[in-house]
Amino acid sequence: MNDLFIDVDYAQIYKSGQKIGGDVFLLSRNPEREQIVCTLSDGLGSGVKANVLASLTAHMAHKLSFSEMDLTHSAKIIMNTLPVCKERKISYATFTIVDIRHPSLDDIQVNLVEYDNPQALLFRDSKPIVWQREKILLHREGAFKKEELSRSSLQMAVGDRLIVFSDGATQAGMGKALPLGWRLEGVREFAQHQIERNPSISSHDLSRAIARKANGLDRLASKDDITVMVVYVRRPRRTLVVTGPPFTKEKDEILGEKLRNFEGKKIISGGTTALIVSRLFNKKLKVDLSCWSADVPPVSIMEGFDLVTEGMLTLSKVATALEQKKSLRTLPNDAVRKFVALMMDSDQVHFIVGTKINEAHQDPSIPVEIGIRRTIIGRLRKALEDNYLKETSQEYL
């Protein structure tokens, strides 16, 4: 695992009364090319029609961005493909494409193409950065004026944030209190204040803070779809998950050494594993009944470790929660929730899987869904990688 992580997340609030959004956001990573592409499209109007037009635009932009074609040429193709509204004489959808290439920690290139969405914001630590955009004028048949496409290239560094949003954010609060809406400057000032208050705020939290503020300006009844996406370049947040005793007792010391040398959060999953670690580190285990539930055993507390849980049953339920992308708010206050919360707050998760067979898990009365340890770890890794774009690795001991 490398020493760079590009944290990308977004928040979205539909227009009040709508069950489907007219904004569409897509995110994909191509590890082989060290490329990340983010696409935000805003369909004209709201509801199903807007969603269809935005989806068409976003998927087209997304696919072309992963091709060898120049991004500006790709944008022109999209523009010429998009229909023009016969009544308003404007495009049926707007879009912003963020193409990130990150071959190394010192070389993070961002190509940005913007068409009719609010301008993206860049922060270096907490300071807003202004950069030059190249303007490309296009004239399409049916449009009442020449349309402007913006193209720019940025060099991002560790600590930088790029914020992209739809006009539902900049137009929030339009009316008596804010005659012209929140506007770009309002979003910039709010984002800067959030970063100053919490310099390590994640993309997840910052995007939601901006979206909630915009919705609040609309008195919690948004007049348009609000979508906010944040790209945050930072050092990775690492978590180590140890589950299962090593194959032989002689390898216990190797496990202890790996735990001592790991920089990041540490999770122990499994009663036998916890006893081994307790002995190696001479630390006491104490059961924490404050998060007890009828579904899984309670967590334990051991100094120097962020979470200690029961093994197979808890891991199986964590895998299910991640596969189903369950929100933390819907989970009871138990070991599963605490485990999932740590996974969500991690960028890179490394698993050390003990290979000693636990005879208890061969009992046919144990529920089938518990499975075997390796299978469950495989499910965990797949869910983390596919659903949450986390980086994972694994070793056996």
- Residue 185, CA atoms < 13 Å, CB-side half-sphere: 3
What is the C-alpha to C-alpha distance for residues 228 and 169, in angstroms, rounded to an integer?
A: 8
* Beta-sheet strand order (sheet of 391-396): 286-288, 299-301, 307-309, 265-269, 238-243, 348-353, 391-396
* Beta-sheet strand order (sheet of 134-138): 23-30, 35-43, 93-104, 107-115, 147-156, 134-138
Range 359-377 average pLDDT: 61
Of 92-96, 135-139, 151-155, highest mean pLDDT: 151-155
What is the C-alpha to C-alpha distance for residues 273 and 397, in angstroms, rounded to an integer?
A: 12
Helix (H) or strand (E) holding 254: helix 252-261
The b/e string for 178-200 (b: 16+ C-beta within 10 A; e otherwise) is eeebbbbebbeebbeebbeeeee
Domain boundaries, the chain: 5-234, 238-396
Which pLDDT score is estimated for 90? Answer: 55
The pTM of this model reads: 0.79
- Residue 395, CA atoms < 13 Å, CB-side half-sphere: 8
Phi, psi of 263 (to 5 degrees): -105, 105
Residue range 79-112, pLDDT digits in tens: 777 766 555 555 678 899 999 998 777 789 999 9
Residue range 306-322, pLDDT digits in tens: 999 999 999 999 999 99
CATH number among 3.90.180.10, 3.60.40.10, 1.10.760.10, 1.20.1530.20, domain 5-234: 3.60.40.10
Residue 357 — pLDDT band, cuts 50, 70, 90?
low
Which pLDDT score is estimated for 370? Answer: 42
Which pLDDT score is estimated for 369? Answer: 39
Structure-token pair, residue 384: 């983390």
Query: How many other C-beta atoms can be found within 10 angstroms of the C-beta atom of residue 153?
Result: 14
What is the C-alpha to C-alpha distance for residues 318 and 36, in angstroms, rounded to an integer?
A: 27
Residue range 17-70, pLDDT digits in tens: 998 989 999 998 887 778 899 999 998 877 888 888 888 888 888 888 777 777
What letter would DSSP give residue 199? T
* Residue that is written with structure tokens 């933390």 in the block: 328
**Residue 66 DSSP SS3:** coil
Note the Cα 325 to chain centre separation in Å. 12
Structure-token pair, residue 371: 């499975």
What is the C-alpha to C-alpha distance for residues 74 and 65, in angstroms, rounded to an integer?
A: 7
Distances (CA, A) of 121 to 6, 147, 182, 229, 329: 16, 21, 15, 11, 30
Q: Which residues pair with 122 in a beta bridge?
A: 129, 162
